[in-house]
Amino acid sequence: MNTVIHKNFQFGTAPFRFVAIWSAPSKALAEANPEAYNAQLRSKPACCHFSCDHCGTSINNHCIIVDATGKSFSVGCDCVEKTHHTEIISKVKLALRKKAKAARDAKRQAEQAARKAAYDAELQAQRDANGGLTDSEVAHKNAYAARKEQLARTNAIVAPVVSVLDAAGGDFCYSIAQNYRNGHTPKGRAKDIVIEIVAKQSGRKGSAAYDAALLGAELLVESIEVAIKQNY
């Protein structure tokens, strides 16, 4: 193959060599970022004229090839195949795939950046409205304050029993006292033991004083259990 002629446009003289692909910037870019649009236009190779040098069709992707004389031509992707040059055709297809991947990657990165910018802007708007805190931080702060108030009420409710358990000492009493402070009341045998410990304040187990205090101790433990349920 020597010279390929199509209408009034010439391709050049074989053998040909593929150089690169240049794509015209989009109108969308011109509207969104005129500076970037003009920068891409300034990078346009001299041989690119927005139309195929072989068939004259308007093109976006310009496949730049150099012929045997060293002259550069800008050809559309379809007309490249008319060179009948397998290596050039393969290189063009590979370059197009790379270009498409780069465009997808750039779009994805731009979308990620846009989402991050919107997220950051939303957080800043929340901080401006909440005195430096995000909505989540405000909610956490309020929840912490509410929990603190709840525990304060709980400690006031359980104080009559917890003071007895603290005075009695020992691992069991310490564990039950901590549970009371956190709003957890004993059940089953543990509850019976707590009642016994409170009753022993009045006398040793089996004594008349102990027996007399036992009902009061049971009522105290039961009332605390009801009050804690109402507090939560």
Is the pTM value of this prediction over 0.85? no
Q: What is the pLDDT of residues 133-167, one digit of tens each?
A: 999 999 999 999 999 999 999 999 999 999 999 99
Q: How far apart are alpha carbons 32 and 6 in whole angstroms? A: 38
**With contact defined as beta carbons under 8 Å apart, do 6 and 54 qualify?**
yes
pLDDT tens string 195-205: 999 999 988 88
* Predicted confidence (pLDDT) per residue in 89-122, tens digit: 888 889 889 988 988 998 899 899 999 999 999 9
Q: What is the mean pLDDT of the chain?
A: 89
User: Does residue 206 have a pLDDT over 90?
Assistant: no
7: left (phi over 0), alpha (psi -120 to 50) or beta: left
Residue 11's pLDDT band, with cuts at 50, 70 and 90, is: low
**In the structure, what pLDDT confidence band is assigned to residue 8 with cuts at 50, 70 and 90?**
very low
* Mean pLDDT within 203-216: 90
Query: How crowded is residue 180: how many other Cβ atoms within 10 Å of its Cβ?
Result: 23
One DSSP character per residue, 151-162 reads HHHHHHHHHHHH
Per-residue pLDDT, averaged over 211-221, amounts to 93
Q: State the CB neighbour count (10 A cutoff) for residue 186.
A: 19
pLDDT for position 80: 85
Phi, psi (5° rounding) for residue 15?
A: -80, 155
pLDDT of 9 reads 54
pLDDT digits (tens, 9 = 90+) for 14-69: 788 899 999 888 888 888 888 888 988 899 999 998 999 888 889 999 999 998 89
